[in-house]
Amino acid sequence: MTDRLKQLRIGASGPARRSRCAGQVLVIVLLGIGLLGGLIFYVINTGDQVNHRLAMQNAADSTSISGAAWMARSMNVIASNNVAITRMLALVPHLDSFPLATKMAHSEVAAWERCMDRQLDRGVPDDWMRDGLESLRKRMARQRDILAPMNDLFNNSAFDMDSLTYWAIRGHSGPPPHGRLWQAAESLDELSQATAMSAGPLSQANAVRYGQKNYAETAFVVPVMPELPARRTSFGDFKKPVKNGIIPDRDYPHRLGPYDRLFKWRRYHSSGVYERDRWVEGNPGHGAIRGSRGNVNIGGRRQGRSARGYSSNPDGHWSHRITGRMITGYSVYGPYTWMMQRVGRYRELPDTYFYDYYRRIAGIKLGYMWGSQELKKIHYPQWVTDYPEARAQAAGGARVTRTMFYLVEIRSKYPKGGSGWLSKGSYKTNGKRPIAIWVNGWADPDKWGVSKIADYIWEDQYFYETTEDREIGINKQLDENNKPIWQKVYMVAQYVFGGIDVGGETPVYNPTNYSDRDDLPAPILIDTSAGDYDMSQPHHDLGVRRDVFSYLGIAFRSNRPTVWPGRFGSGNPFGKIVAVSQSEIFNTTSWDLWTQDWKAKTVPVTRWGDWVDRITAGIEQAPSTGGMVDAETVRDVGQYFGRFDEDMVAEMMHH
């Protein structure tokens, strides 16, 4: 009985103890779960806040760089248009000169080629001269054939140059401009004006768009209404860029313009460094020369090659040679000169006056563009190629502008008609490149005092002396004092009459026939009335450079926690995650609206107090953004930012 009772007591005590301990682990587990949940919520919310903070910084960067970049692109568009208009204006006198210059050059080279044909038909006394004249005739014919299709296009076809180059075309319906170059220039001018007017609002719109694309609830750039620092001037400001490549606001080294800094269109000026030295033979086989140059000494423009030997100091002792060059400076040129150089480098019309006519006519037409509109004239050539008729007209008082001759020469070791004359290796001619000579005024070959050997052909014979000319078999010889012996070289120069120019004057018409220059395109330039950066301290973050070309991007979103927001509140009075980013616009080539090299980049945020003031100033600008930026939001941001000490901000941002 006693044992049974003991067993009952023992059995009863185990469950009793378990009952008193029941639920202790559950409390611990529940407490751990709560703490773990809180930790998880904390980690989730902290991670979200960090991610949101990073996202807002990306949004702020996108906001500032997008606003600045749009302004930089707008400035590049204007710069590109300014340069394009200068090129179109430069094209006007160039293109409008082609018809008249081509017609004049083609008519005279055709007359010269016919003159050669007639002279060859009449006959020439020497075979070597015939070869030279035939070579010259082919030269003229080749250049005539180059000019012929140009002349047909510009002067004998339906092609109308006026439709390209004239401001106003007589009989054309509608107000000017009528020429397509002027229409294009005017369209670019209108595009530039529209770009300048829209640059500020579109910069803000671009900033807002990209800030919101990067998950900002609200984003905008300061200044709230950016302004392109530019002004439209007048047509006269295109003159310097077109002619000289000098932009009108070229005041400081940082504004030299695209033709100087970007294109490098420069003419370098230099001076030679000379050194006196003993004479050195510049061409192997040729020695010094002395003596006569002949009985006929006509000066003028020459094209071709002389058969005469190389010349040097008569005594053959001393000479000066250039041992180096020193650059002394440079001048800049514009698109008008650049185009003129390209035409001048065309070497296939050397015997014609095409380039001379083209240059003079284009210069007159360029003068019309910014100068007097009074009609000017140019000499129009008319060639009389028959010698008797030319003499008769000259005697009758005709105004002779130019007289033309063709010169075929032979230089020989032996005199003409003597033993060895024209023997192999004893002579040289200019038969492959005879000389064409143009003399100002009337020059009658019958008055030269030389022999007339055939119809319209005169011959001059003379000699000079040289110490050596291996090309014609004259080798250097030394006397008993070991000095060179002077030896004779015999020259035969035959002149063929080419004709006289008895032409008159022809008008050079004005394609820039506008009545009011205020109607014309005008460039948009940097407005420097507010000042420029301090030349003694050219820093991007000082003065007008900061005021005009610096942007602050602001982006924010709610900082409400994702999980259990009631328990994970924030002490931030603004209630937002806010980020800022500063960007600037710059041009490393030339600080002007001619050089298409404007860029934007992010930079450290500086001068916090200045940004607070500019945000406050933006409250009044916000309504003009068309709803993109809310004035109340700008006010709240300004008040929030104004609570931060500038030194503390500098520590936080630049730690």
Cα–Cα distance, 215 to 120 (Å, whole number): 89
pLDDT more than 90, % of the chain: 72
Whether the per-residue pLDDT at 466 is higher than 60: the answer is: yes
pLDDT digits (tens, 9 = 90+) for 514-533: 988 888 999 999 998 877 87
CB of 304 within 8 A of CB of 435? yes
Q: How confident is the model at residue 158 (pLDDT cuts 50, 70, 90)?
A: very high
Residue type at 204 in one-letter notation: Q
For 406, the token pair is 């063709």
pLDDT digits (tens, 9 = 90+) for 292-343: 889 998 889 999 999 998 755 444 434 445 556 678 899 999 999 999 999 9
pLDDT digits (tens, 9 = 90+) for 114-155: 999 999 999 898 999 999 999 999 999 999 999 999 999 999
pLDDT computed for residue 532 by the predictor? 80
**DSSP symbols for 190-233:** HHHHHHHHHHHHHHHHHHHHHHHHTT-SEEEEESSS----EEE-
pLDDT digits (tens, 9 = 90+) for 587-640: 999 999 999 999 999 999 999 999 999 999 999 999 999 999 999 999 999 999
Q: How confident is the model at residue 282 (pLDDT cuts 50, 70, 90)?
A: very low
Q: Report the DSSP pairing between strands 318-332 and 451-454.
A: unpaired
**DSSP symbols for 548-580:** HHEEEEEEEEE---SS-TTTS----SS-EEEEE
How far CA 327 is from CA of 271, 330, 341, in Å, comes to 7, 8, 22
**Burial label, 148 (beta-carbon count in 10 A; 0-12, 13-18, 19+):** middle
**DSSP symbols for 454-490:** ETTEEEEEEEEEES-BGGGTB---B-TTS-BPPEEEE
Per-residue burial over 239-278, b if 16 or more Cβ lie within 10 Å, else e, is bbbbbbbbbbbbeeebbbbbbbbbbebeeeeeeeeeeeee
Q: Reduce the secondary structure of 255-289 to three states and give it as a string.
A: CCCHHHHCCCCEEEEEEEEEEEEECCCCCCCECCE
How far CA 595 is from CA of 56, 266, 588, 598, 613, in Å, comes to 35, 16, 10, 8, 32
**Burial label, 206 (beta-carbon count in 10 A; 0-12, 13-18, 19+):** buried
Cα–Cα distance, 115 to 97 (Å, whole number): 27
CB of 410 within 8 A of CB of 427? yes
Residues 6+ apart with CB under 8 A from 646: 607, 608, 609
Residue that has been written with the tokens 């949004």 in this structure = 59
pLDDT computed for residue 108 by the predictor? 95
Give the least confident one: 51-60, 236-245, 366-375: 51-60
**DSSP symbols for 367-436:** HHHHS----EEEE---EE--HHHHHHHHHTT----EEEEEEEEEEESS-TTSTTTT-TTSEEE-TTSPEE
Give the least confident one: 47-56, 433-442, 454-463: 47-56
What's the whole-model pTM score? 0.86
Helices 180-213/24-122 angle, 10° precision = 170
